Amino acid sequence: MASLIAGDGSFSSKSTLQILAFEAAKTMSRLVALYNSLSDDEFFKLRQGPVKSRGVAFLNSVNESYLLEIACKEKLEDLGLAVAVVSRLSKKCIDEGLNRFEFTYQSMTRGVIDIGNIGFSSRNVGKTIKKMEKYANATSALCESLVALYELEASEKKMQKWKINKDYFNQEITFQTKKVAHFKQVSLWSQTFDTTVGLMARIVLVVYSRICTIFGPSVPSLPCFYIPKRKALNMKVYPEANYCFLVEKDKYMKQASKSGPITKASKAKPRSHQVNALAFQIPETRNKRLIQSAPANTVGAAGLAFRYANLIIMAESCFHTTTSISDEARENMFEMLPISLKYALRRKLKSQWSEESDGGQGLAQGWKEALEEIIGWLAPVAHDTLRWQQERDLEQQKLNAKPTVLLLQTLHFSDLEKTEAAIVEVLVGLSHIYRHENRRERHVDGCFWL
């Protein structure tokens, strides 16, 4: 344990990673990204940005503690993926302390081991992070070089079949082979298990203690690490005495929509630290994926997050387009709706159409202003939903992918009733706008969606 906290990760062993270097590099990148996301500045941006955004406030929650619990659990899950790899690699270490890394980590999560005196932004930790970044980048370059070498060799074999002069390919293959040899030397390929695990294990402890430090006020079930008074005076993450909940909450709720369904949606119930929709207790839910813990009344629990995100983005595109919308595009949007939403949309359109004796530019302009406001806070959540998925897919493909969107920013934890009401409102507004402004290629006397 002492060697992990005070050492520099330099341990001796004859066994090297070789092909396991790529998995280790991906894990290093994950740990570096986690470490960087937990700085004072990044945590301040999280609290002032995504947590206070209008879309998240209206659809997910206005309770800052609840939203930070979601962020905390996602950070812990990301860390858990790294811990699984480090624990597996540690079994091949010669150093006894590293070999028992899994036991050390479990003891730390139970609060048995106090590592609160580790300096998150200390000079030694900073050097370790830079070293890990260097190794991860070199290993990523090695991967690219190996792929390029394989493609050259495959092309060279084709040249042999066609009996074409292959001198050029021979030169390229020789050069690429030298690049591969170089990157093998400077990357994790040639590093020992002890050296690699020593670097990552230390950052795991630092990251976990940091998560407990900054999210502790919102997640009391986390182990509490002692922070010396001299360090506490310099902490910027919680400068105020109480939690900083959403400012002007009533204003956000009032501005969410100028029409019926949005304001009639059910109000979110306040969540306490002990009981909430996540049932967030570290010992009991550590092995339960965050994405599976969405409450029953959410979009994620209904399995509609990505469908609704695509639908909202299509509606946004229709709203901002300067050209007409094809029948095929309208049909595609309508078919993306569940049956219940199709009925709700038709019901509202028929009722409004029967109440209107005449329409004009004034009505269209009113709907245009209303939709501009609704889409202004609804579309960013939809874009973040797709970006969250894309970043996770990219992380599987690349060694140095760094996710930037958290699950709390997406539709996954959004209230299903509010989200569907907002979608219906947007589609009704589009129907009014296109009916009265006649923005389609031919005049439409009937309903846009009927």
pLDDT band at 449 (very low <50, low <70, confident <90, very high): low
Look at residue 383 and tell me if it is in a domain.
yes
Helix, strand, or coil (residue 213): helix
Are 52 and 195 part of one and the same domain? yes
Residue 75's pLDDT is 95
Residue 57's pLDDT is 95
Q: Is the pLDDT of residue 127 over 70?
A: yes
Contact 249, 57 (CB under 8 A): yes
If 0-12 CB within 10 Å is exposed, 13-18 middle and 19+ buried, where does residue 258 land?
middle
Helix, strand, or coil (residue 122): coil
Are 187 and 309 part of one and the same domain? no
pLDDT band at 119 (very low <50, low <70, confident <90, very high): low
Q: What is the pLDDT of residues 335-367, one digit of tens each?
A: 899 998 999 888 888 877 655 545 555 667 788
Q: How many CB atoms lie within 10 A of CB 347?
A: 11
Q: What is the pLDDT of residues 175-233, one digit of tens each?
A: 999 999 999 999 999 999 999 999 999 999 999 989 988 998 888 888 876 555 444 43
pLDDT average, residue stretch 18-28 = 95
From 227, 249, 271, the end of a domain falls on 227
| pLDDT: which is higher, 2 or 171 | 171
pLDDT average, residue stretch 144-161 = 84
From 180, 206, 227, the end of a domain falls on 227
Nearest to 205 by CA among 89, 82, 91, 99: 82
Are 217 and 306 part of one and the same domain? no
> DSSP character for 238?
S
Cα–Cα–Cα angle for 375, 381, 385, rounded to 5 degrees: 135
Residue 163's pLDDT is 59
Give the residue carrying structure tokens 């030694």.
Answer: 124
pLDDT average, residue stretch 80-103 = 94
Are 222 and 298 part of one and the same domain? no
Are 33 and 179 part of one and the same domain? yes
Nearest to 322 by CA among 201, 161, 434: 434
Read off the pTM. 0.78
Are 217 and 304 part of one and the same domain? no
Look at residue 260 and tell me if it is in a domain.
no
Are 99 and 192 part of one and the same domain? yes
Contact 426, 404 (CB under 8 A): no
Look at residue 275 and tell me if it is in a domain.
no
Are 208 and 333 part of one and the same domain? no
Residue 365's pLDDT is 76
pLDDT average, residue stretch 232-236 = 39
Are 9 and 103 part of one and the same domain? yes
Helix, strand and coil percent figures for the chain, each rounded to 5: 65, 0, 35
**Across the chain, what does the average pLDDT equal?**
78
Are 163 and 19 part of one and the same domain? yes
Q: Is the pLDDT of residue 380 over 80?
A: yes
Look at residue 193 and tell me if it is in a domain.
yes
Look at residue 112 and tell me if it is in a domain.
yes
Are 189 and 66 part of one and the same domain? yes
Cα–Cα–Cα angle for 249, 418, 313, rounded to 5 degrees: 100
Q: Is the pLDDT of residue 234 over 70?
A: no
Lowest mean pLDDT across 244-258, 292-306, 312-326: 244-258
Look at residue 267 and tell me if it is in a domain.
no
Q: What is the DSSP string of 282-342?
A: HHHHTTS-GGG---TTBTTTTT-HHHHHHHHHHHHHHHH-SSPPPHHHHHHHHHTS-HHHH
The pair of three-digit structure tokens given for residue 88, joined into one six-digit string: 């597996």
Residue 111's pLDDT is 73
Range of the domain at 325: 294-437
Q: Is the pLDDT of residue 309 over 80?
A: yes
pLDDT band at 261 (very low <50, low <70, confident <90, very high): very low
Nearest to 369 by CA among 250, 249, 254, 255: 255
Nearest to 309 by CA among 168, 414, 211, 204: 414
From 197, 227, 257, the end of a domain falls on 227
What's the number of CA atoms in the CB half-sphere (13 Å) around residue 183? Answer: 21
Q: Where are the alpha helices (DSSP H) in 336-439?
A: 339-355, 361-397, 416-437
Residue 360's pLDDT is 52
pLDDT band at 126 (very low <50, low <70, confident <90, very high): very high
Q: Is the pLDDT of residue 12 over 70?
A: no
pLDDT band at 251 (very low <50, low <70, confident <90, very high): very low
Q: Is the pLDDT of residue 89 over 80?
A: yes
Q: Is the pLDDT of residue 94 over 50?
A: yes
> Could you give the CA distance from residue 428 to residue 327 in angstroms, rounded to a whole number?
16
Residue 437's pLDDT is 62
Please state the domain count of the chain.
Answer: 2
Residue 5's pLDDT is 46
Contact 43, 5 (CB under 8 A): no
Q: Is the pLDDT of residue 278 over 50?
A: no
Are 199 and 306 part of one and the same domain? no
- CA trace torsion 183, 186, 192, 193 (10° rounding): -70
Look at residue 432 and tell me if it is in a domain.
yes
pLDDT average, residue stretch 372-382 = 95
Look at residue 111 and tell me if it is in a domain.
yes
